[in-house]
Structure 1
């Protein structure tokens, strides 16, 4: 199992981590790897990493989930972050051949921060 950290500067951000995931996969790996975020207010997904689309993802998550008015906010004011990460999910599984992730032409592994700025751990397990 390999891991790496991702640092974010904004409350909500989507970051392409494909290269870092690739580097964490052993050269002789075949099968699958699971990319897992061990946090309840962050997630990971596979999609296109075009810069305007990343901004659109952030806007969509903001539009879908209001920032305030949630019961959990009485505890630590981040219910919106938990709900947004629930929509994204904590993991993706990717096929691997000869140590290379088998992603489609436009697919990238995206880390989604919902409660930043933070330092997060991403695990790559195969």
Structure 2
């Protein structure tokens, strides 16, 4: 399953938990669900979706990786986006229990846009658990 995600600014977060959860079959007792964003300037993270924390995440990434001063900027001016996405990684894997994502109480799946605004594609794969 894949779905598009529209972003509206250069560095932002979008909660995609509900869209990822739609890929999990109701009758799956146990397994794993992997979400993957096939882009080099966006990443995925499991984190709380509280708006102020999302702002803090964006500020943290901006402070950690400066906007300018990178060699790749000579090519297309977005090295900071590539570096931020590298820190995040392109995927998350979440256990599945009783047909639901087994996320913690405050956990959500966030797409972190580092080079927007853009349309991103998230791919979701669900695997059934193997009995020991």
Whether the TM-score (by the shorter chain) exceeds 0.5 is yes
| TM superposition score normalised by structure 1 | 0.96
Q: Residue in 1 aligned with 2:106?
A: 106
Q: Residue in 1 aligned with 2:27?
A: 28
Q: Between Structure 1 and Structure 2, whose CA radius of gyration is higher? A: 2
List 4+ stretches of structure 1 deviating above 4 A: none
The question of whether the paired residues in 2 share the 8 Å contact of 1:49 and 1:108 is answered with yes
Aligned to 1:70, what secondary structure does the other structure show? coil
Question: Matches of residues 1-126 of structure 1 in structure 2 within 5 Å?
Answer: 2-29=1-28, 30-126=30-126
For each residue in 1:67-114, what CA deviation from the matched residue of structure 2 results, as whole angstroms up to 9, or x when unmatched?
A: 111100111110000000001110011001232100000100011000
- CA displacement at 1:16 relative to structure 2: 1.0
Aligned to 2:22, what secondary structure does the other structure show? helix
- Name the count of aligned residue pairs: 125
In 2, Cα distance between equivalents of 1:7 and 1:27: 27
Aligned-residue RMSD, C-alpha? 0.8
For each residue in 1:1-35, what CA deviation from the matched residue of structure 2 results, as whole angstroms up to 9, or x when unmatched?
A: x1111000100001111111111222223300111
The question of whether the paired residues in 2 share the 8 Å contact of 1:3 and 1:24 is answered with no
Q: Structure 1: which 5+ runs fail to align?
A: none
In 2, Cα distance between equivalents of 1:26 and 1:35: 15
